[in-house]
Structure 1
């Protein structure tokens, strides 16, 4: 808007300068008017030039996303041991499940686990139904319970638990997963943030230089979701396996690395070189 007003004013001054000789002034007065109008024109042009230079010096914006990914060895192991018993009656299903859970608990205690180390994560009893000849029919009851044990990552301990579970008369199904302890997780998070910021800065410098700009500062940093939805998840592609009970002795089992990812968006201030 200021630029438009200045341009309109310039046109007005030029018109006056052209019309000045035809005005009913004495020749001396006409010359004075021309000098005044000429001065106004020069001042106006100077103002326009200064304003244009000021606009061109305003910083631009460059939005860049930095990414980071880290693969680390797991530090914790979690084993879910699932018991499922079926019976024609409700009490029968519960009784069989409890007997198998008690047996499994005894087997785990032989490995050094205490009651506080063995956690019940699920307990469920429901009616079982089967679909036969286009009809749903009752087929008794199903009782389920899961026991969970967690311990620091140790290959020999892991194999010991797996072998004990597969030999147990409780015959549990087994779900295995790996993770990181709290201290290691915090360390990984911090490292991911540093790497993501460094990646964003490197990309911004390359883009700015190639475009004839230089980075002069940072306007905004976006870490996570500004709408307060869950923070970016540290995605864990942990090795997981489901083992059915079997008379088998396991002698080797390697845990896969865990991979964690992070992204950070940074808006940089840039200026023409």
Structure 2
């Protein structure tokens, strides 16, 4: 017990000494920043499906049937360049609350479908028509920058942000006659991911623009770093 207490005290004293040493080190801190403005290269129709039944198989089969109906409708429309992706499949007890009491009433199956294509796809209207043709499906349409594009720019943005910080540090050093600048600490923020632009139940908008391409606004991807220099 005494050994543990001694170790804790020693560790605490060491931390205090290190903190004091850091405070005594002359530092300048700069921020580096880089960004790219990109036109969205991905259009995603997001569809949330839900089916209820007294038995698990009934809910699951109804959900699978609706998914297959959509897949068949997309094929029948001969839509080009798209992917139909199923995510977040779940089956839960359908629990109903009334007057403060809970009652189980069968099961509910849920699934998220994504139809992924490009904003320049001439078949955007056909996709909307295929979804609406099923009758009881609602959807959100959003435009964004694909994960593949974001990843391809990660190293480029990081390099540019670091160079931006270095240029600022050199300017400070030259202006204030500080010599022998050395990197003491490097920190960075997570890459900024722009929020996609949503259009809920976009059928009216697409219907009016059936003969032209949708042109969403550009989005900004950025990277920010923080560097401390000693001198």
Q: Same fold (TM over 0.5)?
A: yes
- Compute the displacement of 1:209 (Å): 5.1
1:161 equivalent among 119, 127, 134: 127
The higher relative CO (CA closer than 8 Å, separation ≥ 6) is in 2
SS at match of 2:197: coil
Is the Cα contact below 8 Å between 2:44 and 2:116 reproduced in 1? Answer: yes
Match of 2:225 in 1: 264
Is the Cα contact below 8 Å between 2:47 and 2:137 reproduced in 1? Answer: no
* Within-5 A mapping of 1:1-273: 61-112=27-78, 117-169=83-135, 171-174=137-140, 176-180=142-146, 182=148, 184-208=149-173, 212-214=176-178, 216-220=180-184, 222-224=186-188, 232-243=190-201, 250-252=207-209, 253-270=214-231
Is the Cα contact below 8 Å between 1:65 and 1:264 reproduced in 2? Answer: yes
SS at match of 1:250: helix
Q: Please give the alpha-carbon distance, in whole angstroms, between the structure 1 residues aligned to 2:117 and 2:182.
A: 44
* CA RMSD across the alignment: 3.4
Match of 1:25 in 2: none
Structure 1, unaligned stretches of length 5 or more? 1-58, 225-230
Counterparts in 2 of 1:187 and 1:160: CA distance versus 1, 3 Å: same
- Compute the displacement of 1:71 (Å): 2.3
Q: Please give the alpha-carbon distance, in whole angstroms, between the structure 2 residues aligned to 1:238 and 1:171.
A: 21
- Compute the displacement of 1:143 (Å): 1.7
Report the TM-score when normalising by structure 1: 0.59
Counterparts in 2 of 1:221 and 1:109: CA distance versus 1, 3 Å: farther
Q: Please give the alpha-carbon distance, in whole angstroms, between the structure 2 residues aligned to 1:238 and 1:147.
A: 17
Q: Please give the alpha-carbon distance, in whole angstroms, between the structure 1 residues aligned to 2:61 and 2:151.
A: 44
Report the TM-score when normalising by structure 2: 0.68
